[in-house]
């Protein structure tokens, strides 16, 4: 291996710096647009890297990956829609901060945390990669099962409402992950006889729908501005630095958590950010402010999910086991360039991998200026654009984002339908985050469960394989129990304080109303659980074991919540799902559904123009003058044309053969 000065000199060459800057900028924009993932951007650009110098091409790909993970925070903060699954927990405090006029501060905090976490992950990748890779080998299928359950219990307890409702949402998300062909056994499950459901539900399409559609319905429900613009205070850098310094231990702890979780193939930034958020809340003296716009929550989630980038490259480079789809694409690019990943990579004398890792550090540092500038103008844009234009813009991005994933119109329909389900569930107090995490972690949990089932069944000791024989499993199980107990202790304390208020103020304070919406939702989930159990009877043993377990748990939790709702223990949905059933809201929902159903037949361009005009009128409050109407119509035409041409000519997404265009 050449000396460090030579590697640094090559990584800092003007061409590599330019490629890193362009990669970060492009990745940030891609990550901020729901549906346009880092995997898509990297996969599109991989062929162009084959004609570049190997190190330069890999630096650009790594920069795109880094920027895309960070870019997910923009949509999470400004629109309450995570651009990537790893930004789910960023919505908890980022969007409340933006709602009260601190969106610029939230974006700056996310940028600082992302740079810090990315630096920690990249430095540990360079210095300790071979040693940390052994940690990934210690985790087996059983540990991944418990790790997925840990993620679900964390999201349930952090949903700020009702623990039981959070767990029900997680079980519903796992049910969604089981639709299609079983991962083990190969049976077709829960498709309702529809061939289009054989491929299952795409995670990104579900994420867009469950988060975006309720926000859109909420936006047209009232004439109020989407976000409070507050005062024009610029980057608020010094204020953000001061907050970050006060949370220095939170940043370091969360970055280490992100790196360690990133090492585990398949775990990803969503679990890392949830664990980091949970730890930040547990250790904070302001724990009651988490979920209401606490800066420490943003610092925890963004430092953790960006640290997973460097952590994820550790098993990819050292063991040849990619932890995420972008890691797999970049590993393929390495192999095309003639670089063999594996334990001998760091002893092969090839400098390319070290130049690539150094370029990753440089790309992470470039996120600071790029993120601040993009974030400042993004916040101004979101706060200043009228609702009549913001609603069709966001709606159009949800349509093309969910379609561009697989160029499949079915994903668009699924996105809209799940969005409407998420809106209805939000009214009953069931948040979107547990559902999305259940979908994300469902296959990981099922694979771990079934492998333990097969190994334990062969040994005649399933419970031993699942619980006793693995010390790491015991540790994760202890964390799950602790995670479940803390909210219960808080509820007990709150109940004791409420009883004291009753004693002081009289029995009228103790009166609770029946949670009718929550009870209705629980009844629906109970019916779903019974249907799951009945459907599982027609499956093979291997394909039915996990649905039986999930259906039984979902049924028990639904019955428990029905009893709690009768006693008035409803809880709230604190994820910003305040949309009511106004006529405008139903008009938006009907327009989105008709759009999703008709564009494959009529054409994306024409249906998008018509739908955007209808949504523009839906989002318009007050008198609409002729000049303003002309401006809106011209803007819609430019917007639809630009995105349509980008899909068709730049990204080469195959559009459906329709009557029009």
pLDDT of residue 34: 66
Contacts of 122 (CB under 8 A, 6+ apart): 309, 310, 357, 360, 361, 364
| Strand, coil or helix: 56 | helix
The answer to whether the predicted template modeling score (pTM) of the entire model surpasses 0.95 is no
pLDDT of residue 579: 42
pLDDT of residue 634: 93
Q: What share of the chain is helix, strand, coil (3-state, %, to 5)?
A: 75, 0, 25
176 CB neighbour count, 10 Å cutoff = 22
301 CB neighbour count, 10 Å cutoff = 36
Find residue 189's DSSP bridge partners.
180
What residue ranges do the domains of the chain occupy?
4-225+237-384+431-488, 387-429+577-660, 515-574
DSSP letters of 394-413? Answer: HHHHHHHHHHHTTT-HHHHH
pLDDT of residue 463: 56
d(CA 155, CA 438): 9
pLDDT of residue 267: 63
**Which residues in the chain show pLDDT less than 70?**
1-2, 34-41, 43-48, 50, 130, 132-141, 155-161, 226-234, 265-268, 319, 321, 323, 342-350, 456-470, 486-512, 569-581, 651, 658-661
pLDDT of residue 510: 47
Burial of 285 (0-12, 13-18, 19+ CB in 10 A): exposed
At 23-57, the pLDDT tens digits run 888 888 877 776 566 666 676 666 667 677 878 88
How far, in Å, are 388, 585, 607 from residue 632 at the CA level? 8, 21, 17
pLDDT of residue 156: 65
d(CA 480, CA 457): 25
At 96-128, the pLDDT tens digits run 888 888 888 898 999 999 999 999 988 888 887
């Amino acid at each position: 291996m050449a000396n460090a000065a030579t590697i640094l000199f090559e990584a800092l060459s003007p061409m590599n710096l330019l490629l890193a800057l362009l990669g970060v900028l492009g990745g940030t924009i891609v990550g901020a647009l729901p549906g346009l993932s880092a995997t898509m951007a990297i996969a599109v650009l991989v062929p162009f890297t084959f004609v570049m110098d190997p190190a330069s091409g890999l630096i650009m790909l790594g920069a795109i990956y880094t920027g895309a993970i960070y870019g997910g925070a923009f949509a999470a903060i400004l629109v309450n829609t995570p651009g990537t699954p790893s930004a789910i927990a960023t919505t908890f405090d980022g969007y409340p901060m933006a709602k009260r006029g601190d969106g610029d501060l939230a974006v700056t905090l996310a940028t600082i945390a992302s740079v810090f976490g990315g630096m920690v992950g990249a430095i540990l990748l360079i210095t300790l990669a071979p040693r940390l890779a052994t940690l990934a080998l210690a985790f087996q299928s059983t540990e991944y099962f418990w790790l997925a359950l840990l993620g679900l219990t964390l999201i349930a307890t952090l949903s700020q409402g009702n623990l039981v409702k959070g767990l029900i949402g997680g079980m519903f998300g796992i049910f969604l992950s089981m639709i299609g062909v079983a991962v083990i056994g190969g049976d077709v499950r829960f498709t309702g006889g529809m061939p289009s459901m054989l491929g299952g539900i795409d995670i990104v399409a579900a994420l867009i729908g469950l988060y975006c559609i309720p926000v859109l319905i909420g936006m047209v429900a009232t004439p109020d501005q989407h976000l409070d613009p507050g005062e024009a205070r610029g980057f608020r850098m010094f204020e953000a630095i001061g907050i970050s310094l006060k949370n220095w231990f939170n940043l370091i702890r969360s970055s280490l958590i992100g790196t360690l979780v990133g090492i585990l193939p398949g775990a990803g930034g969503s679990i890392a950010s949830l664990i980091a958020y949970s730890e930040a809340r547990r250790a904070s003296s302001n724990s009651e402010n988490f979920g209401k716009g606490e800066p420490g929550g943003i610092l925890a989630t963004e430092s953790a999910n960006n640290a997973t980038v460097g952590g994820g490259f550790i098993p990819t480079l050292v063991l040849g086991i990619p932890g995420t789809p972008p890691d797999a694409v970049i590993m393929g690019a390495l192999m095309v360039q003639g670089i063999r990943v594996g334990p001998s990579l760091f002893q092969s004398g090839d400098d390319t991998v070290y130049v690539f890792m150094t370029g990753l550090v440089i790309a992470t540092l470039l996120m600071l200026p790029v993120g601040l500038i993009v974030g400042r103008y993004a916040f101004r844009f979101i706060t200043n654009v009228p609702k009549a234009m913001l609603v069709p813009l966001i709606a159009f991005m949800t349509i093309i984002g969910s379609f561009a994933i697989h160029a499949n119109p079915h994903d668009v329909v699924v996105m809209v339908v799940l969005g409407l389900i998420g809106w209805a569930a939000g009214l009953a107090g069931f948040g979107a985050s547990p559902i999305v995490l259940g979908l994300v972690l469902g296959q990981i949990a099922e694979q771990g469960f079934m492998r333990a089932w097969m190994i334990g069944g062969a040994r005649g000791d399933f419970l031993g394989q699942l619980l006793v024989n693995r010390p790491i499993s015991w540790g994760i199980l202890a964390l799950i129990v602790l995670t479940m107990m803390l909210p219960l202790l808080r509820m007990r304390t709150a109940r004791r304080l409420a009883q004291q208020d009753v004693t002081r103020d009289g029995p009228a304070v103790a009166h609770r109303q029946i949670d009718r919406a929550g009870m209705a939702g629980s009844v629906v989930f109970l019916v779903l659980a019974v249907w799951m159990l009945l459907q599982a009877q027609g499956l093979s043993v291997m394909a039915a074991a996990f649905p039986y377990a999930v259906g039984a748990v979902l049924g028990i939790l639904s019955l428990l919540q029905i009893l709690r709702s009768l006693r008035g223990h409803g809880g709230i949905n604190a994820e910003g799902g305040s949309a009511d059933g106004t006529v405008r809201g139903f008009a938006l929902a009907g327009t989105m559904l008709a759009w999703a159903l008709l564009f494959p037949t009529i054409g994306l361009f024409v249906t998008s123009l018509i739908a955007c005009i209808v949504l523009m009128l839906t989002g318009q409050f007050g008198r609409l003058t002729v000049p303003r109407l002309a401006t809106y119509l011209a803007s819609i035409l430019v917007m639809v044309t630009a995105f349509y041409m980008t899909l068709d000519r730049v990204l080469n997404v195959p559009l459906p053969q329709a009557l029009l265009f």
